[in-house]
Amino acid sequence: MEATLSAGVAVALPARAPADHWFPSFSVPPLVEVRANAIAGLVVGIIALPLSIALAVAIGVSPIAGLYTAIFAGGAAAIFGGSRYNITGPTAALVPILSHAVLRYGPKALPMAGLMAGGILLVMSVLRFGRLIRYMPGLVVVGFTAGIALSIAFGQVNSFLAVSGTDPGLERFHEKTWDTLMHLGSVGLSTPLVGLASLGTLLLWPKAPRLGRIPAPLVAVAAVTGVTWGMGIDTPTIASRYGNLPREFPAPSLGFFDAGLAWDLLPVAFSIAVLGAVESLLSAVVADGMAPTAARHDPDRELRGQGIANLVSPVMGGIPATAAIARTAAGIRSGGTSRLTGVFHAITVLSATLILGGFAGHIPLATLAAILLVVAWNIAEAPEVVRLLRKAPREDILVLVSTILITLFFDLTWAIGFGVLASVVLLLRRLIGLPAAQELLPDENGRIQQVSPELSALIQSRDDIAFFTAQ
């Protein structure tokens, strides 16, 4: 998740949604609106280019799969989704699940898992689960988001430093971390310098007057790639690991379909669907709060759009996708007002892929790792985690820390299940402890003078009953 969360502020999803249609109603927009959304889509597409490549590499698949995901999942979700503003593509939230699946079942398992997740999302839409997912506790969302961020950050160390000799088959966080520490002696000088130069560009470029409007990831990729390529610096690149990227339009294919693997991939597909639903609906809530219009998203229709996107993506060579909060926010800030922003975003990524595919092979892996380190920091919610650790009740702290640790050392599915169950138990425990109902009459100033300590404690400890949350 790429936006600020707060476990203490509840933002409810809409109680009513527009009429349920498979296809949204279209009308010819004014030329001014088309132009505004085309510019917004261009900006978001430029942002999505390096992120899509970096996320695919972090998962362990070819960078072209990330680009195809932004193109086809992004276009499908923009057309069929329930939010006018959501931008869909590969996201950091799915990296731990997908990278774990690649290690266990191989890269060819991802399209199958994505197809199954798309089907699950469609079922969730039909059963109108969009309104139920609002009851995911904000405390749990913060917990597993922080765990995901830590997993992503530690996962980039090998590429950032060019650590060699590590075992690529290790799955557990502690095993991979220890393996990296044992091979730090293999680190040279050139790649860490490339990584630091990339990280410095990412952090300092947004502070530049006027020029800071150009997306920092794009600047870092272009500048550092140009320098390393021009100076012949010896550092691992996309081409050295994955070969040159194809520059032709992909043909639809179901060659990945394997019914025998479906049962093994069911937990993975379920995790993708649940996390994708949470991420997409949270993005839609944030977008509604930022948008200049009063239009609100349809949560069930958004699940349907994400389901269709995840059915289309694997058939076209992509990976599982979900809405991305940061890209959605960038689209709104750039003047996006409709689904056309998502469509133009997909067209931008497609055009760049066909034109600039040869250049992408020279991008250093350390630069992509630096991009993901910044993404991990942005989604980690470190200030929010610190606030909760300092001010939340001990029971809440236990839930938060346990969710983070389970996400890191076990599996996100277990983390979500544990967090929700623990939060429900804590909430029921506090509700049971409330005193019997009593009539509270206001004084002449309209204020209630007496509130029971138990009720006051429940009101002050809002983290237990805060669900989808955003600032």
How many folded domains does the chain comprise?
A: 1
Distance from C-alpha of 7 to C-alpha of 362, rounded to nearest angstrom: 42
SS3 322: strand
Give the residue among 62, 375, 65 at the shortest CA–CA distance from 238. 62
| Average pLDDT value for residue range 385-400 | 85
Distance from C-alpha of 388 to C-alpha of 128, rounded to nearest angstrom: 32
pLDDT-based confidence at residue 359 (cuts at 50, 70, 90)? confident
Give the residue among 383, 336, 73, 54 at the shortest CA–CA distance from 216. 54
User: What distances in angstroms separate CA 114 from CA 266, 299, 362, one per listed residue?
Assistant: 10, 20, 29
Q: pTM for the complete prediction?
A: 0.78
Residue pLDDT, tens place only, 338-357 = 899 999 999 999 998 888 87
Distance from C-alpha of 136 to C-alpha of 419, rounded to nearest angstrom: 9
For residue 440, is it within any domain? no
pLDDT at 391: 87
Task: Pinpoint the alpha helices (H) of 127-215.
Answer: 138-155, 157-161, 173-182, 190-204
Average pLDDT, the chain: 82
Residue pLDDT, tens place only, 155-194 = 888 889 988 888 777 777 888 888 889 888 888 899 999 9
User: What distances in angstroms separate CA 199 from CA 217, 366, 368, one per listed residue?
Assistant: 10, 9, 10
> Who wins on pLDDT, 9 or 242?
242
For residue 427, is it within any domain? no
For residue 16, is it within any domain? no
For residue 129, is it within any domain? yes
Percent of the chain residues past pLDDT 70, beyond the cut: 83
Distance from C-alpha of 335 to C-alpha of 410, rounded to nearest angstrom: 41
pLDDT at 16: 43
For residue 406, is it within any domain? no
Task: Pinpoint the alpha helices (H) of 60-85.
Answer: 63-68, 74-80
For residue 151, is it within any domain? yes
Give the residue among 330, 327, 341, 356 at the shortest CA–CA distance from 51. 327
> Who wins on pLDDT, 356 or 276?
276
For residue 461, is it within any domain? no
pLDDT at 155: 85
As beta bridge partners, residue 469 has 10
Containing domain of residue 63, as a range? 31-377
For residue 110, is it within any domain? yes
